[in-house]
Structure 1
Amino acid sequence: MSDSLSATTVRISGVDGDDIEAYLARPDGDHRRGGVVVIHHLPGYDRATKEMVRRFAELGYDAICPNLYSREAPGASPDDAAAVVRARGGVSDERLVGDVGGAAAYLRSLPTSNGKVGVIGHCSGGRQSVLAACRLELDAAVDCYGAFVTGTPSPDYPLKVTNLVDQLPNLHCALLGLFGNEDSYPSPEQVDELEQLLQANGKTYEIHRYDDAGHAFFAVNRPSYRVAAANDGWERIAAFYAAHLGS
């Protein structure tokens, strides 16, 4: 397999048929392969997220990241768009599910698709990855330290979100969770609760926790970056998707 790839901006159909921007990366070649929907974090549709999209293409998948902030701030910088959306309480769960569903449909429409699609998100995107996997017919989901899959947001929390405890019984696919033991959102106790709920509902899952790692340990551009945890996490993501999506 060649390690050559292409990346471009495309338009996809989101919730209610909305036309939204998305970033697509694909490996060269016409072989059949799985797809990955990357859900960007709260800071937005930024360079770091697009680098992750290209990394999945390098791993052999068609990968796409829908710009969840397309409607509020078209053409704005990631920081400005994120500020607008944060001030409005974030992206609603219904809209998130519709946009991710549109991105998954786009991947499945590609001539190289083997019909399988996974989803991944970090931070707020981690929670949204689990949400999408509970509402959509997906084949694998990765939650990288998503806050409030379990646990309850404080009254002054800036985003209008609830936990997903009541939705976890509807999880449609295998889940990989990667968490830092020094994190507060989610805390180790909230990760414990997630694992107990997955086990009680007979779900297929893997949970991995890292010492000396807190929130955003994958973020190479932040002081929170932890080399050992991030490298191990990427290896586990690659193995997980290979098992559930093909490559």
Structure 2
Amino acid sequence: MNATPATAPTTRKKIAVAGATGRLGRHVVDVLEEQGHDVVAISRAQGVDIVTGDGLAEALHGVEVVIDSAGTPSPDQQVATDFFTSAARNLRAAGEKAGVARIAAVSIIGIEASVVGYNAAKPAHEHALLEGALPVRILRAAQFHEFVPQLLAWGTQGDTGCVPRMGTQLVAARSVAEALVGLALEEGSGTATAPFPEIAGPREESLVGAATAYAAVHGPATVQGVSDPADPERDLFENGGLLPGPHATLAGPAFEEWAEGVN
């Protein structure tokens, strides 16, 4: 099905956003503010640390809903797992004490099959959130459009950018933010059960093809797909393991449209 634009709320709410300054979080804040909600931005820049819990109780005072869009830049599985599980437990415990109605969090399509790295830390994140009594809603998203220039930046040497061979259905972070806000504010109680709702872009594409389209506008001169036979997740990446299921919401804009608008 196709995504619909976010609509104005019928009731103004006080909503906390963890990771409010991040790639997804800043869009979540924008969507909430456009809808007229009171936003509590949670990040270290605001003096709140969800990993240690410092400042969290004060930040959640009077908050009705928590949206967890926080992430870690580390690709290391243990580092990412420690980050996500600590953050989830602190948000859940502080949220229960503050009397929030629910937590909504973002995850990744296909991560239940991941065995290494950042992706393998996300199931632990989901489980840590779901362990408590506080209702939790999880939205699994495809890779963001913004993922492509990041990978190119990491993998470019000279005039050639190297990216992994991967089947994906890239989606704009703004579209994910709109869907996450909608899920967080949806009336009803209780914890959502699997299959979790998913959001992806309008069509399946290869990461190499998307990177080539981006490079045609922004560089580098050439893009090369790489495949590591020693990578235990190579089959998952290359054979559709990260593609959405039939129940996924599909949301534009298409990647090429988004890439043309990037400065």
Q: TM-score normalised by the shorter chain: which range applies?
A: 0.3 to 0.5
What's the TM-score once normalised by structure 2's chain length?
0.36
What's the TM-score once normalised by structure 1's chain length?
0.37
Larger relative contact order, structure 1 or 2 (CA cutoff 8 Å, min sep 6): 2
Q: Which of the two has higher C-alpha Rg?
A: 2
Q: Which has the higher strand share?
A: 1
